[in-house]
Chains A and B, each alone.
Chain A
Amino acid sequence: MILGIDTSLGTAVAVVDLDGVVRAEASSDNPLGHAEVIGDLLQAALADAARGPLGQTGAIEPVTLTHVAAGMGPGPFTGLRVGIAAARAFALGRGLPVVAVPSHDAAALEVFLASALTDPFAEVPRFGIVTDARRREFAYTVYDGIDDDGLPVRVAGPALTPRDEIDTVLAGFGAERRDAVSISAAMLATVAARAVAAGRGLTGPEPLYLRAPDVTLPRAPKRVTA
């Protein structure tokens, strides 16, 4: 089983079997308060997972996690870090590996799975996942199809663009716009499960900040005399 944690938008936690069956999901859409809710959501998801696949309430069975999937962003930094810190610490506590997953990959997989539910043979046209990056900017990643490992194929991004330029940018890639207001931790964990099965890494260990820290270099001290 894989524990998925994403705090790139709201706070989302899920436990998913390696074959993709969702055992538990717990989330908060609040774009703030990640540090407040992460502990209770983790505890709730683990307790739910012990009762069997989502929606069932079987006998309590042990939750045997094998990996922790961490949503690496992009997303507002302060919240994003809470989830990555939690994923790393949780994994350390149980001696598990962390699978770093670009958060947009989860939203993209959701698009493909939703399409497959209505028509398994439908082609999903190239699209861009778009999320809030604050400061009048959007973060986007362009995807085109799904590969043999069942993983969405990234063709551009993740990157930032001013909000009023997003449509032009996506048109330039010939991509439809898909806004995501939340990231599903179950999808994130599923992406991780597929990457593990395929023996692939999806992104490096660094968060996808996409922006240098906001710092002002010190000026010469201000004069205090006239």
Chain B
Amino acid sequence: MTRAEPLVLGIETSCDETGIGIVRGRTLLSNTIASSMDEHARYGGVVPEVAARAHLEALQPAIEAAVAEAGITLDELDAVAVTSGPGLAGALMVGVGAAKALAVSLGKPLYAVNHLVGHIAADILTGDEVEYPTIALLVSGGHTSLLLVRDLTTDVELLGETMDDAAGEAFDKIARILGLPYPGGPEIDRAAAAGDPNAIRFPRGLSRASDMAEHRYDFSFSGLKTAVARWVEQSSLTPGEGASEASPETGPGAPGGPSAADVAASFREAVVDVLVTKALDACARHGVPRLLLGGGVVANRRLREVALDRAEAAGVTVRIPPLSLCTDNGAMIAALAAQLISSGRRPSTLAFGADSTLPVTEIQISEEAP
């Protein structure tokens, strides 16, 4: 095995994307993603059983497509990598079963890794040297986590995470309240375009002085969700009337009052504000002038804008990998394993399972005894 530049295939099935990535060291060779998002649309959120069924059907074609795109053969691989957790248990198990069998079939070492740390590892594929320590804010439909990364392969600390919904889930739920389709993120972005982000001051969860002792870096979006629902019910905004149709003059809100676009923009602002405020607070208090963003919610234009603006004012450098590496993908899993291999880590045993609540401190799972 070329320890400096190992050729690794990564399998990621923690949520609704079947991701197969192939990397050589820090070089991305393929990032193949099959998403079952469309199948979840009618349910308004990811249905675990639907996701797991889709993974099983997508895996083999995705591996074949990734191998073809990378221009390699499976025999050439130095290792196979897989997400062990956190994520949806039944979905994770499809990837774990496939990864173990592929590794045994090929006689290659297997690395079981942490999904969240994989999101951080995605950045090393951008061809730019990432510097540690860094604060990392990972926001998706499945997680909202604030991390202090001192070293990618040995030292990742969880500073805080969501106490209830993930930020992406909050977008989906508010979209439903506003009568917008799933997934909610892009819909709310579109609806918010014509709105005033300061029209309504929605609550910022866990941001009071009294929250700072226990939950300084934690997130909560359930209060915000309730506040938006209450606002929509009390105004004459009717769910079902897409906010995109609303304009300040003709919107279904009280005459002269905020429109559906204003609600969407104000909601989005509340989410973005609390995410960016806590991330930059972490940078300041830990003396780390670097912030890495990851997760599918990074697709949100307003989040990127506010993060870049406020970080600049705070003297913090922001790294945002391309969106294809921010959403769940197998390349980030392969990239993390490649770094573990380069740092001399032994493979995982074959005895690990799927761990839906795997803590972020467990970067590699079940490393072989020396």
Contact = CB atoms under 8 A, between A and B. Distances in A.
Interface of A: 5, 7, 33-40, 42-43, 46, 77-78, 81-94, 207, 209, 213-218, 220-225
Interface in B41-86: 42-45, 47, 49-50, 52-53, 55-56, 59-60, 63-64, 74
A85 B56 CA distance: 6
5 contacts: A39-B101, A78-B90, A78-B93, A90-B101, A224-B229
B242 to A, nearest CB: 15
Given A89-B60, A218-B176, A221-B173, 18 more contacts: A33-B353, A34-B97, A35-B92, A39-B100, A39-B103, A39-B110, A42-B101, A78-B89, A82-B96, A89-B63, A92-B63, A92-B74, A216-B43, A217-B42, A221-B229, A221-B239, A223-B233, A225-B234
A217 B41 CA distance: 10
Nearest to A211: B49
Given A94-B105, A213-B47, A89 B59 contact: yes
B105 A89 contact: yes
A39 B350 contact: yes
B354 interface: yes
Contact of A225 (B45, B52, B230): B230
Given A81-B56, A93-B106, A86 B98 contact: yes
Contacts of B74: 92-93
Contacts of A5: 101
Nearest to A36: B353
Contacts of A217: 42-43
A81 B42 CA distance: 24
B100 A77 contact: no
A209 B352 CA distance: 26
A223 B239 CA distance: 11
Interface of A is mostly: helix
A89 B60 CA distance: 7
B351 interface: yes
B50 A215 contact: yes
Contacts of A82: 93-94, 96-97
Interface of B is mostly: helix
B156 interface: no
Nearest to B172: A218
Interface string B27-38: 000000000000
B212 interface: no
B99 interface: yes
A137 B138 CA distance: 42
B102 interface: yes
Contacts of B173: 221
B226 interface: yes
B177 interface: yes
B104 interface: yes
A82 B91 CA distance: 10
A37 B176 CA distance: 41
Nearest to B49: A213
A40 B104 CA distance: 9
B91 to A, nearest CB: 9
Contacts of B63: 89, 92
A35 B49 contact: no
Contacts of B351: 36-37, 39-40
Contact of B97 (A46, A81, A209): A81
Given A36-B353, A39-B101, A93-B105, A81 B230 contact: no
Nearest to B97: A82
Contacts of B64: 92
A67 B47 CA distance: 34
